[in-house]
Amino acid sequence: MSDGADERWMRRALELAGSAEQADEVPVGAVLLSPAGDVIGEGWNRNISDHDPTAHAEIIAMRQAGMRLGNHRLVGCTLYVTLEPCAMCAMAMIHARIARLVFGAADPKTGAAGSVFDLLADPRHNHRVLVQGGVLAQETGARLTNYFRSKRGKPVE
């Protein structure tokens, strides 16, 4: 996909991150596209409200897509997410056979798509995911930074 399409879908993921923020969840959003470019799954962080440690935006979008397709394999699909995925989400992408990941802000604490770990490119896995990071990184990063600043009572930029 073109950079224009990547930015368009990242903006949609940012909208979904807003839903998480309204629910007092860490503002992360995800959109999953079929190989034809159709939206087949969307999600935002819901682990606090759902009392589910696995309810990250990426997982919710993949679950939705799996149900829609009637398959646990999401071959050829592209996942857009506002924050670099954690190890759990990265491994779920490998198991689902996601073709491509596009993320916004890097996660220097738990990122598993190149920052702390590089699980998606590890040659020991039977599947690798193409990764494009940094799409709208300033906007996605600012949303997260401002969320955590407001939680700590610090001024939001």
- Catalytic residue positions, numbered: 58
CB atoms within 10 A of CB 31: 26
CA distance 7 to 3: 6
- Whole-angstrom CA distances from 67 to 1, 20, 72, 150 are 25, 22, 8, 36
Instruction: Decide if 113 contacts 120 (C-beta within 8 A).
Output: yes
Give burial (CB, 10 Å; 0-12/13-18/19+) of 135: buried
